[in-house]
Amino acid sequence: MKKKTTKKTQVKATAARGVNIKTAARTRETSSWSISIYVYWFIILFFIAATFYILGRSHLMNKEVKSVLNNAGQIEMVDTQNNEEKLMNAADYYTRGKSEILAGNIDGAVADLNAAIQADATMVDAYILRGEVYMQTGNYSAAMNDFNNAIAIDASNSIAYYDRALLNMRLEDFNSAMNDINNALATYASNPNEILQLRDLYAKRGQLNLWMKNWEGAIADYTNSLARPEGIVNPSVYAERAEAYTAMGEYALAINDYTSAIRVISEQIQGVTTMEQKEDLSMRAMNYFEKSAALNLNIGNAASAKTDLESAYAIAASLNDADTTERLQKLIEALQ
């Protein structure tokens, strides 16, 4: 009986060990499968994180960002470029617009002035400056709108009247231009500024009177301009007053003015720094010498006319102007 019991016990033990072996095998298979799942999800999450990281970096590359600490002491990424735009006010846009003009970036200047006006619709200086840009680029209707808006906002702004006068002169609306120049002079008297000078205002009205053939009015305005102590004398003021004197038959006075214009040029040409400026002043002086020569001939002063032509010839030769030197040479020979 004991042997049978022992044998049965051994069989049961062997069977139990088999069950344990199978259970252990299944446990190992389950453990291996679980590890594979974890690795699989780890790889998926890794690629998802990497994708968001790359997208985030590419987004930040398109902006100027910096890290800052917020009130809670946490680091935040701030778009400094957009913040800078938000912090700019009308005056900032206006200032940057002026800089763009000096740099020759007209489109950028207009964009900044547009932004200035959008930020402050009552900013007169922005309207005036944008109007000047439009006028210089030939967009006369837009320029007129800006000058009109500036005057509507501030009817005492002499610069707006002056600029609109210049525009009306370009449009050959001389009566409107005269009204604007007169308003500019009137408002300047009560509200002066550092941009305009009475010398220039009188000179511009003198030019307008000259174009309208109001000789006496032109002479009076040019005389007032030359009498002003501020600013720099423009030789054209003498030359244009000489034209008015010539139209009135005052040849001697006209000759004196051409002589004065040439004297101013001879003084100013010493201070110019570019060849273009020197050539421009030289050509103007040459032209004034010729006009003075013609007037001297009209009053019977052939010797002075010959001297004027010789001076004009010398300038033409220095400019390598072959056609003019040839023409002047023939005139000089005719006087001998």
Classify domain 219-336 at the CATH topology level. 1.25.40
* Separation between Cα atoms, residue 37 and residue 43, nearest integer Å: 10
Domain parsing of the chain, residue ranges: 88-196, 219-336
Say what the pLDDT of residue 44 is: 52
From residue 124, give the alpha-carbon distance in Å to each of 114, 146, 265: 12, 9, 37
Residues in contact with 224: Cβ distance below 8 Å, sequence separation at least 6, in sequence order: 198, 202, 206
Say what the pLDDT of residue 155 is: 97
Say what the pLDDT of residue 87 is: 58
Residue 136 phi, psi dihedral angles, 5° rounding: -70, -25
Mean pLDDT value across the chain: 83
Low-confidence ranges of the chain (pLDDT < 70): 1-87
Say what the pLDDT of residue 231 is: 85
Residues in contact with 234: Cβ distance below 8 Å, sequence separation at least 6, in sequence order: 203, 264
Residues in contact with 213: Cβ distance below 8 Å, sequence separation at least 6, in sequence order: 247
Residue 127 phi, psi dihedral angles, 5° rounding: -60, -45
pTM for this prediction: 0.72
Domains 88-196 and 219-336 share a fold: yes
Say what the pLDDT of residue 31 is: 45
Give the three-state DSSP class for 208: helix
What single-letter amino acid sits at 70?
N
What single-letter amino acid sits at 77?
M
What single-letter amino acid sits at 251?
Y
Give the three-state DSSP class for 88: coil
* Separation between Cα atoms, residue 114 and residue 106, nearest integer Å: 12
Q: Which two tokens stand for residue 291?
A: 């006009």
Report DSSP letters for 107-174, one per residue: HHHHHHHHHHHHH-TT-HHHHHHHHHHHHHTT-HHHHHHHHHHHHHH-TT-HHHHHHHHHHHHHTT-H
* R_g (Cα) of the chain, nearest Å: 44
* Separation between Cα atoms, residue 175 and residue 169, nearest integer Å: 9
* Separation between Cα atoms, residue 72 and residue 65, nearest integer Å: 20
Give the three-state DSSP class for 270: coil
HEC assignment per residue over 3-28? HHHHHHHHHHHHHHHHHHHHHHHHHH
Length of the chain: 336
Question: What angle, 0 to 180 degrees and rounded to 10, lies between the N-to-C axes of helices 235-247 and 198-211?
Answer: 30
Give the three-state DSSP class for 293: helix
Say what the pLDDT of residue 20 is: 47
Instruction: Judge whether 204 and 216 are in contact, CB under 8 Å.
Output: no
Each residue of 146-200: pLDDT tens digit? 999 999 999 999 999 999 999 999 999 999 999 999 999 999 999 999 899 999 9
Q: Residue 30 class from Cβ within 10 Å (0-12 exposed, 13-18 middle, 19+ buried)?
A: exposed
Say what the pLDDT of residue 58 is: 45
Helices and strands in the chain, H and E counts: 15, 2
Closest Cα partner for 95 from 115, 81, 118, 121? 115
CATH number of 88-196: 1.25.40.10
Say what the pLDDT of residue 1 is: 43
Residue 273 phi, psi dihedral angles, 5° rounding: -115, -15
Closest Cα partner for 153 from 195, 123, 112, 117? 123
